[in-house]
Amino acid sequence: MGQKCTYFVNLAGGLSRAGIFICSMSRRRHLTPKAEYEIYSTFHEMTSGKCAVLITHRLSAVQLADKVAVLADGHVAEYGTHSELYAMGGIYTDMFDKQAEFYREA
């Protein structure tokens, strides 16, 4: 992992000892797919059995969560599991399908 990834893991490790996990994954554009996978895997391992907040626009990472809150216009517009939200056919489904579109065409 690169220097930024190592810093993230070290920071998360420190917070985990305090039982706090808040993670924003908005600045990942320079990560390789492998590095991104390692970060999500480490985050998942570190938060197992604990309360964590993951803030991301990458909906592939959302599947790590037990529950998902979709925010729109300053409020929670949709709430549920990935499967529940996808079945609703609302905002979450639209965003997920847009991100997955190019993967599905392969």
pLDDT tens digits in sequence order for the chain, 106 residues long: 444 444 444 455 555 555 555 555 555 567 787 888 888 888 888 878 777 777 777 777 787 788 889 988 888 999 999 999 999 999 999 999 998 887 766 5
E strands present in the chain: 22-24, 53-55, 68-72, 75-80
β-pairing, 53-55 vs 22-24, is parallel
Residue 86 is predicted with a pLDDT of: 94
